[in-house]
């Protein structure tokens, strides 16, 4: 009987852990770009509970990219559709960023009350978006390292899965002249030759 009870407890614990499988996904707004194009990569978290714990209260992450193909332009904090889910009461949040060769460190700490975060925060939202400029052709990989994630009380959260993304950058394409345009240029050239030959007579 004791073994049966321990087995039930272990099963219940595993189910409760799997119920909140937190994942972070990098989502690019384009899969193929040309040199000179801008590119936006959103960093989204999911697996939190809608209007219930756990919620996200703080994060410290490193965003990594190929700086031979892309250059950093700017950061947009929060979700463009849902607003900043770490600033639900309008108190703001502590935001900090630093950068190096091919990486950005981003930190955000909510000033919201823990109860407000647990009751009001969505279970899935964009943490921030990174705007980059394409400077060379090639295939670029984007990844993320979660240095730390904390819930509404600052207790540790674990990202079960972090999914990067890949973008192909191509050279600037020069459009070929259309056949109609070539035909018009040819007719114009013939017409000019006839006018010149008529003037010589």
Q: How far is CA 177 from the centre of its chain?
A: 37
Tens-digit pLDDT profile for residues 89-119: 999 999 999 999 999 999 999 999 999 999 9
Tell me if 98 sits within 8 A of 104, measured CB to CB. Answer: yes
How many whole angstroms separate alpha carbon 48 and alpha carbon 16? 13
Average pLDDT over residues 15-43: 87
* DSSP helix/strand/coil, 75: strand
pLDDT of residue 194: 73
Assess whether pLDDT exceeds 50 at residue 79.
Answer: yes
Task: Identify which of 107, 108, 36, 109 has the alpha carbon closest to the alpha carbon of residue 73.
Answer: 36
Tokens of 124: 């899935």
Tell me if 159 sits within 8 A of 23, measured CB to CB. Answer: yes
Assess whether pLDDT exceeds 90 at residue 62.
Answer: yes
How many whole angstroms separate alpha carbon 63 and alpha carbon 42? 11
Q: Which uninterrupted H or E stretch holds 31?
A: none
Q: What is the CATH number of domain 18-200?
A: 2.60.40.680
User: Which is more confidently placed, 28 or 198?
Assistant: 28
DSSP 8-state secondary structure symbol assigned to residue 173: P
**Average pLDDT of the chain to the nearest whole number:** 87
Give the pLDDT band (50/70/90) at residue 5. Answer: very low
End-to-end CA separation in angstroms for the chain: 118
Share of the chain above pLDDT 70, in %: 78
pLDDT of residue 14: 41
Cα-based distances in Å from 21 to 13, 14, 45, 56, 121: 13, 11, 11, 13, 17
pLDDT of residue 33: 97
Q: What are the extents of the domains in the chain? A: 18-200
pLDDT of residue 89: 94
């Amino acid at each position: 009987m004791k073994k049966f009870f321990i087995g039930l407890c272990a099963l219940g614990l595993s189910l409760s852990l799997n119920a909140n499988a937190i994942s972070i996904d990098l989502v690019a707004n384009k899969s193929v770009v040309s040199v000179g194009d801008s590119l936006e990569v959103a960093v989204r978290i999911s697996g939190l509970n809608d209007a219930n714990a756990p919620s996200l209260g703080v994060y410290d992450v490193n965003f990594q990219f190929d700086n031979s193909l892309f250059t950093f332009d700017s950061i947009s904090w929060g979700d463009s559709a849902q607003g900043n889910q770490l600033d639900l009461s309008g108190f703001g949040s502590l935001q900090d960023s630093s950068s190096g060769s091919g990486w950005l460190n981003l930190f955000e700490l909510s000033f919201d009350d823990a109860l407000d975060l647990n009751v009001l925060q969505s279970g899935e939202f964009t943490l921030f978006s990174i705007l980059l400029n394409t400077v060379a052709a090639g295939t670029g990989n984007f990844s993320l390292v979660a240095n730390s994630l904390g819930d509404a009380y600052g207790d540790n959260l674990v990202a079960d899965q972090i999914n990067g993304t890949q973008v192909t950058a191509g050279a600037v394409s020069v459009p070929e002249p259309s056949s109609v345009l070539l035909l018009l240029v040819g007719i114009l050239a013939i017409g000019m030759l006839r006018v010149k030959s008529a003037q010589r007579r």
